[in-house]
Each structure stands twice: as structure tokens, then as C-alpha cells.
Amino acid sequence: MQKNVRRHFMSYCVNKEYLCMCRRSDPQEEEKVAPILQVQNLQHIYSAGTPFEHIALQDVSFSVERGEFIGVIGHTGSGKSTLMQHLNGLLKPTSGSILLDGEDIWSDKKLTRQSRFRVGLVFQYPEYQLFEETVYKDIAFGPKNMGLSKEEIDRRVREAAGFVGITDEQLEVSPFDLSGGQKRRVAIAGVIAMEPEVLILDEPTAGLDPVGREGILANIESYRKAKNATIMMVSHSMSDVARLAQRLLVMSDAHLAMDGTPQEVFARAQELLDMGLDIPEITRVFLKLQQLGLPVEQVYTIEQATQQLCRLRGEVSNA
């Protein structure tokens, strides 16, 4: 009798413990992952206190998650480039702060320096900054400045070259013997070789033909997926950001005017047009169709447009 009672009691305790374990949350699930970047009330004034004083950024705040692909759009002079140069410490805020993994990058000189490796910045037309004798040496420039071993530098150079489609043979030639598109790839590889957690690109496809543009964009997405890196891309191509970005930041007159998904932002097409910005061509076409009375919804990619037209065609066929 006592043995049976003891057996039932032990079974009850084990089952109860099992149920409790099932109800417990995974600590990793409970832990909220902090944003990789946080911009807090950022203000930047050029030539402050002089007759040439100009407010480039005013009270800009947002956060950036790991692995996000963010498109940054805005008219010329809206503050896009100034904002990007704050994110890795090239410019110091007049007021406000930039947090990298929760730490103010300007709170310590070491953090400021580290931020320039952890947040990589590719300027517009970066091929104009190539200067080494060979492609290999140019890509290796950043990793060397990080104080890495020769073996680690070699690994990074070859991996970065692979991401952008540069062959081992091309690593040994002068960068000035390459085509314009190949030079652009080399310049981007030089930043990728530092393995930044955040990769910022200012108009990375400017001046390239359609084939070159698609190649560069594919390289960028390949790096993001392989490293779970965050991408922030400044672009005037609404079609590119609509297709690639998970989120859009819209700058206008030194302010962050919009922050949302492409669907949320391009649903405010008229506001974008009023700001002097363009919208994807396919969005413009469908706005015209709506004005003509056709029962179509707003779209911002070719894929969405195809679905809408197939649906409309089906409704007409069934009528």
C-alpha cells in the first residue's frame, strides 16, 4: 500500500515538474534583443553661430534592428547623407546621440573608433577612392587598419571579393584596369572586408547600367543574408527600395517625415509627390488607373501589379 502511494506521489511530482517546465518561457525568448543602432533626438547644425548657419538635421529619432534592410529616401538637401555620416562617427551631433548596441559612440574614443569598423559606410561613387597597386591591396586596406593577422586579412579579402563577384585573377590586377562597374564592386568589397554589422550605402548603383545595378544590389543582399547584417541604402530609385527594403525612412527638410514599410509609405503617394519625391513607376500607373475608375488597389512592385491585373482580368472574364 505504502509503495503504491509513494509511486503515485512520485509520478505526480514528475508530471507536475514537467508541466511547470512546459509553461516556463525560454529565457532567450523572453530577452528582448536590443536594436543594433538607435538615433535619439539627433540635431546637426553646420557653421553654427555664423551667418552661414544651416540646420541639416532636426530632432531625428529612430532605431534599427539587426538584419533589417532599410531604404533611405529624400530630396537633395533633405539631410540623408548628413544622417548617414553620423551613424559611424564621421560627424559629431550638435545635440542628441547615436547608440551602437546601447552605447553612445561618442562617450569614449575607443567606442568612436570601433563604430567606424562596425558600421561600414560606402560613399557615392566610391571607386574614386581606389588608390592601391592591386585590387587585393585595396580590399585589404580596411582589415589592415584593424590590426588583424595576415591570415585573417587574406580570408576577409577573398571572402569579400567573392561576395561582389571579383575573381582570384582580378585580385592581382590594378583596380584602374577594371571597368567602372568592377571598380564599384572593389570599393564595396573594401568595406565588406571589415565585416561591418551595419552596412550603409549612399547611392550604390548611381551611374551604372541596368545589368550592373542588378549585380550590385544582388551582392548587397547576399552579404546581408550571409552575415545577418543590417543594410541602410540611400537611393533615388523608388523601384529599387520598394522591391528590396523591408522599411523606409523618408527625410524631408532636415526632419524624419515618414518611417514605415514600403506599403505604408507608398500608400501616402501624394504626400511624397508634394515633398518633391518620386514614387515607383508602377505606383504612378495604378494611381492613374484608379483615377480612371478601375477597381484596383495601390501597388509598388511589378509582382503586386501582376496579381492585381490577373484578378481584374478574372473578374471581367466571369462577368
Q: How far is Cα 13 from Cα 9, in angstroms, rounded to an integer?
A: 6
Cell 491585373 identifies what position? Answer: 309
**Confidence (pTM):** 0.84
Instruction: Indicate whether 249 belongs to any domain.
Output: yes
Supply the pLDDT for residue 312.
80
pLDDT bin (cut points 50, 70, 90) of residue 96 is: very high
Strand-pair partners of 198: 119, 230
pLDDT tens track for 60-80:
999 999 999 999 999 999 999
Contact 44, 93 (CB under 8 A): yes
* Strands 54-64 and 103-104, bridge-based pairing: unpaired
Task: Say if residue 146's pLDDT is above 50.
Answer: yes
239 and 144 in one domain?
Answer: yes
Instruction: Indicate whether 213 belongs to any domain.
Output: yes
203's grid cell: 547611392
Contact 170, 143 (CB under 8 A): no
168 and 314 in one domain?
Answer: no
Helices within the chain (DSSP H only): 2-23, 27-30, 80-87, 109-118, 135-145, 150-164, 168-171, 180-192, 210-227, 238-244, 262-266, 269-274, 281-291, 302-318
* Stretch among 12-16, 166-170, 218-222 having the lowest mean pLDDT: 12-16
Contacts of 190 (CB under 8 A, 6+ apart): 126, 138, 139, 141, 142, 160
303 and 212 in one domain?
Answer: no
296 and 242 in one domain?
Answer: no
Q: How many domains does the chain have?
A: 2
What is the identity of the amino acid at 107? S
pLDDT tens track for 239-270:
899 999 999 999 999 999 999 999 999 989 88
288 and 143 in one domain?
Answer: no
Domain that holds residue 286: 281-318
With residue 233 as reference, give the H or E element that holds it. strand 230-234
300 and 217 in one domain?
Answer: no
Segment 292-315 mean pLDDT: 85
209's grid cell: 547600367
Instruction: Indicate whether 228 belongs to any domain.
Output: yes
Tell which wins on pLDDT, 115 or 316. Answer: 115
Instruction: Indicate whether 274 belongs to any domain.
Output: no
Supply the pLDDT for residue 10.
46
Q: How far is Cα 4 from Cα 225, in angstroms, rounded to an integer?
A: 58
- Mean of all residue pLDDT scores within the chain: 88
Segment 315-319 mean pLDDT: 61
Task: Say if residue 83's pLDDT is above 70.
Answer: yes
297 and 243 in one domain?
Answer: no
C-alpha torsion sign, points 195, 199, 203, 205: positive
CATH of the domain at 179: 3.40.50.300
Instruction: Indicate whether 14 belongs to any domain.
Output: no
Supply the pLDDT for residue 24.
44
Q: How far is Cα 230 from Cα 118, in angstroms, rounded to an integer?
A: 11
Strand-pair partners of 74: 251
pLDDT tens track for 171-224:
999 999 999 999 999 999 999 999 999 999 999 999 999 999 999 999 999 999
Q: Nearest 5°: phi and psi at 233? A: -120, 120
Supply the pLDDT for residue 317.
59
Instruction: Indicate whether 46 belongs to any domain.
Output: no
135 and 88 in one domain?
Answer: yes
78 and 181 in one domain?
Answer: yes
Q: How far is Cα 54 from Cα 47, in angstroms, rounded to an integer?
A: 7
Contact 227, 188 (CB under 8 A): no
Cell 503617394 identifies what position? Answer: 269
293 and 232 in one domain?
Answer: no
* Stretch among 125-134, 219-228, 229-238, 296-305 having the lowest mean pLDDT: 296-305
Instruction: Indicate whether 39 belongs to any domain.
Output: no
Tell which wins on pLDDT, 248 or 15. Answer: 248
Instruction: Indicate whether 53 belongs to any domain.
Output: no
287 and 251 in one domain?
Answer: no
309 and 233 in one domain?
Answer: no
Shortest CA distance to 240 belongs to which of 297, 286, 280?
280
Tell which wins on pLDDT, 15 or 212. Answer: 212
Supply the pLDDT for residue 318.
61
48's grid cell: 553654427
